[in-house]
Amino acid sequence: MDIQPIAGALGAEIAGVDLRDPISPALAAQLRAAFLQHKVIFLRRQPLTPAQFLRFAEAFGTPIEYPFVKGIEGFPMIIEVKKLEHEKVNFGGIWHSDTTYLHEPPMGSMLLSKEVPPYGGDTMFASQYAAYDALSPTMKRLLDGLVGIASSAKADVSKTREDRIKSDGTEEAKKEYRAEHPVVRTHPETGERTLFVNPGFTSYIKGLARDESAMLLHFLYAHSTKPEHTVRYHWTAGDLAFWDNRATQHAVVGDYGDQHRVIQRVTLRGDEPV
């Protein structure tokens, strides 16, 4: 197995692994170590069937259903993240960490590209460990103990999933989920401190006036996605990405016009942030 970092803050490509084969405990341990170190790992040209994709995911955690969109036929844990030619907005086209409006947000998520446009459609990832580490000691003390309120009903992110809810929505699609999480969380496996607010779902900071909250969140959103904290990945068909949802944000770049894009996603059960 060959591991090549592709950016300073996070991200590594892994070669020499065929995920169509069963995942041994030793290989799973190697991949998990790379995942924890680099925050997001990419394995190119992995033409997996849904059963193989799910088997790979189960080597690292417990797949869970997405609240708003049905899974593909026969595999409720695998959803399609897609934009059709006539659609104007990307599913997930805003910086976010997945489903932080749940009391136990996911440990991680995986994407497997099925159909990619001839140009564009890259996915950006941002290290929230690097973002926290770059803050001043005074700002770190200010953030310590603050709590963010996350909601599934924020207008911007709701717009990014409208098309999929229309075509593949569940009975839960109109429900609002809300959760309280620390603005800075401790990673349960590495002990690292990471920012845990995002423009997709964090509505406000508990205990602050709304204008105070808005100003602080505006700074944190801009700071957490600075170029030096990010990596940009260009997809080819069959690529797989696996990221640590506890320590990253991500967003798809909507720069491919009326082209078709289909990617499958599996999300893994997490725990309550502390």
Residue in 96, 181, 185, 246 annotated catalytic:
96
Tell me which residue of 143, 111, 110 sits closest to 224, measured CA to CA: 143
Q: How confident is the model at residue 244 (pLDDT cuts 50, 70, 90)?
A: very high
Q: What are phi and psi of 267, to 5 degrees?
A: -115, 140
Across 156-174, b (16+ Cβ under 10 Å) vs e yields ebeebbebbbeebbbeebe
**What was the pLDDT predicted at 164?**
45
- Active-site option among 38, 161, 193, 250: 250
Mean pLDDT for 252-262 is 90
Is residue 265 flagged as an active site residue?
A: yes
Based on the number of CB atoms within 10 Å of its own CB, is 196 exposed (0-12), middle (13-18) or buried (19 or more)? buried
Pick the CATH number of 2-268 from 3.40.640.10, 2.60.40.1120, 3.60.130.10, 3.30.70.20: 3.60.130.10
- Structure confidence at residue 67 (pLDDT): 84
Task: Tell me which of 25-34, 64-73, 223-232 is least confident.
Answer: 64-73
Most confident of 53-57, 151-155, 164-168: 53-57
Contacts of 141 (CB under 8 A, 6+ apart): none
For the chain, the average pLDDT equals 92
The one catalytic residue in 98, 168, 239, 244 is 98
pLDDT digits (tens, 9 = 90+) for 95-112: 999 999 999 999 999 999
d(CA 82, CA 17) in angstroms, rounded, equals 27
Please give, one letter per residue, the 3-state secondary structure of 202-249: EEEECCCCHHHHHHHHHHHHHHHCCHHHEEEECCCCCCEEEEECCCEE
For the question of residue 98 being annotated catalytic, the response is yes
- Is 229 in the active site? no
Q: Is the separation of the CB atoms in 121 and 252 below 8 Å? A: yes
The domain spans of the chain are: 2-268
**Annotated catalytic residue 250:** yes
Inform me whether the pLDDT recorded for 141 exceeds 70: yes
Q: Which of 38, 161, 229, 265 is catalytic?
A: 265
Is 169 a residue whose pLDDT tops 90? no
Distance CA 53, CA 123 (A): 20
